[in-house]
A and B are shown apart, each in its own frame.
Chain A
């Protein structure tokens, strides 16, 4: 009897390990293992272990290389920003559509919606599946002159633009600013040494990349989210069974408060006087401009790249109109 129960206990102790499925994951964080994002993925991995999935994390400080290695089959999954993961799932890759989510509350509604089992079919595309979405923070416009607070004033200004971000390039061209092709490693330097007038980045960059230098005495951070950046975990479709993939998405959604804590800390590090508030009437103009751009980039009109998924734009529009029903777009004929 005793021997039997000992055997049972031993078996019980062994089972979780034996049944855990090992999934290798390439994880992007500019600061590698000691970065905030990497640490968040570690929490996600630990939570997933309780559900029988053992993620083996491999740090990458270059996002392009992380995605490249995932493509080459070096990892079963990849965690990177949606700007890079867009090719694997255009629907979730459109979360960062320009100006589409003006508040973190709207973002919360969106991510809660996408974590529902009902949304599962939308998480699969071309043999890939989204295993989780976590916010990284809104992208803001950093300017070296506070008077650059309307789209009109951006005309002719030099703007550091990620050279692989097609929608941003289109947007910059649309407002008749000058694209200065950049990447994550050099945009801050360009802004700080004055070779560009404006750059966009999450609040994280203000302190870590010393963007306050480029802002100087005259500049600021425009207090309007250009886009909501997220980190997405993408895996090949056959890596996890459907039920486990759904659990993974729910686990990632469960990390929303943790991620938001991180983001609010980073935003609080920007002093109040550095934020450039824009008047309510200008905001409406902005919103309409962003909307026209999204439509162009949904349909590939006026030379725009067709990068945005119509279903995601529709969902985002529904969320915006739920939180702000008076907005003119909610009755517009060409609603997204």
Chain B
């Protein structure tokens, strides 16, 4: 072996070493991830955010959408083991999965109210217990959705002074806003579960502060509705000189109808129930029912409007079940009692015919 061969060998040995080091480094950096997995993860996350999410947000069937959340979330989010966690999409998927659990809790709640109306205490107790467990599950899912939404935009809701996140697209704004709302809902579910889920209650004041990061008019008054609800819950959080929270909720509801995104109405109904304002609840449900004919739903976010519609319908169903033992009959949606308006209808005299 001549000296040049030796030189080449040692040189190539150096190259081999270099490559080996790089491979080891890459393997370590990828945490033993199969490169195909991480690529698939990146592709799936990108597809979900760019295509699937806008598609789902346009859907008109909240139940199908929520099933999608339950079914797809574990698959999509499992890619967080091999690539960056797909937090933005993950928060929406978990939000939908939370809705599924809540729909089950609603059915249990209605069963409880029905049994209570009938005086069947064991059945009422059973259903109430079931509702509590389902509420706890809903609360847990919603807390996850909230945390993912905050992580997606690297936003620390506890930070003071507040630093609004960069929200690049309309979808980002909505995802962030829904994240805040979902956090608040988690508290409500937790309370209704008998605090089984142990959700941190400071999400409410945090959401109140963060809601200013999103344009109120654009999002049908939803940001201000969130703030007003927190002002009612924690009067301390209400800034001096701000208007009466009930007036804000009212105004936001009108904005929601105009925008075709009636989530603010759902929040007003929840507030009315929470604070025992039956007249506001009746008015809100009536307003929602009346808006059905004239509202032009915001196509891109039809799902949000549909989810809000389900919340209002549940509010109405709870009232009907507690008072009459059954959910709202179809033609009575918007009314709080079976009293018909037929008394005032003008009639003709039959005297000539008799």
Contact = CB atoms under 8 A, between A and B. Distances in A.
B289 interface: no
Contacts of A195: none
B276 A50 contact: no
Contact of B234 (A39, A208, A213, A258): A208
Contacts of A192: 236
Contacts of B160: 213
A59 interface: yes
B194 A258 contact: yes
Given A43-B128, A46-B128, A59-B274, A36 B234 contact: no
B191 A31 contact: yes
Contact of B124 (A30, A46, A60, A258): A46
A39 B191 contact: yes
Given A61-B275, A209-B234, A34 B192 contact: yes
A16 interface: yes
Contacts of B236: 185-186, 188-189, 192, 209
Contacts of B232: 61
Interface stretch (A261-269, A284-292, A316-324): A261-269
Nearest to B160: A213
Contacts of B191: 31, 34-36, 39
B233 interface: yes
Interface string B186-200: 011001101100101
B152 to A, nearest CB: 24
B274 A186 contact: no
A300 B200 CA distance: 42
A321 B274 CA distance: 44
Contact of B202 (A43, A208, A265): A208
Nearest to A186: B236
Given A31-B274, A33-B276, A50 B235 contact: no
Nearest to A188: B236
B285 to A, nearest CB: 16
Interface string B300-325: 00000000000000000000000000
B273 interface: yes
A60 B276 contact: yes
A204 B273 CA distance: 23
A163 interface: no
Contacts of B121: 16, 46, 49-50
A262 B188 CA distance: 15
A261 B195 contact: yes
A60 B232 CA distance: 12
B258 interface: no
A30 B200 CA distance: 16
Contacts of A46: 116, 121, 124-125, 128
A32 B235 contact: no
A208 B274 CA distance: 17
B204 interface: yes
Interface in A23-65: 30-36, 39-40, 42-43, 46-47, 49-50, 58-61
Contacts of A40: 194
Interface string B203-240: 01100000000000000000000000000111110000
B204 A208 contact: yes
A58 B205 CA distance: 26
Interface string B107-122: 0000000001011011
Given A43-B128, A185-B236, A207-B202, A262 B274 contact: no
Nearest to B132: A39
B118 A17 contact: yes
B268 to A, nearest CB: 14
Given A46-B116, A208-B201, A210-B205, A33 B233 contact: no
A106 to B, nearest CB: 24
Nearest to A35: B191
Given A17-B119, A49-B119, A269 B200 contact: yes
Contacts of A262: 194-195
A180 B343 CA distance: 59
Contacts of A59: 274-276
A188 B238 CA distance: 13
Given A32-B276, A49-B121, A39 B192 contact: yes
Contacts of A58: 276
Nearest to A16: B119
Nearest to A208: B201
A36 B191 CA distance: 5
Nearest to B276: A59
Contact of A207 (B125, B200, B233, B276): B200
A43 B273 CA distance: 18
A269 B116 CA distance: 34
A155 interface: no
Contacts of A120: none
A38 to B, nearest CB: 8
Interface centre among A34, A204, A269 (most CB of B within 10 A): A34
A34 B202 CA distance: 15
Nearest to B205: A210
Interface centre among A204, A207, A269 (most CB of B within 10 A): A207
Contacts of B273: 33
Contacts of A239: none
B276 A34 contact: no
Contacts of A175: none
Given A189-B236, A208-B204, A34 B188 contact: yes
A117 to B, nearest CB: 23
A240 interface: no
Interface in B245-276: 273-276
A30 B201 CA distance: 13
A151 interface: no
Contact of A34 (B194, B200, B274): B274
A20 interface: yes
**Which are the 7 A-B pairs with shortest beta-carbon distances?**
A17-B119, A208-B201, A59-B276, A189-B236, A32-B274, A50-B121, A185-B235
9 contacts: A31-B233, A39-B191, A49-B116, A49-B124, A186-B235, A210-B202, A210-B205, A213-B160, A262-B194
Given A35-B191, A188-B234, 11 more contacts: A16-B121, A20-B119, A36-B191, A36-B194, A49-B116, A60-B276, A185-B236, A207-B201, A208-B201, A210-B205, A262-B194
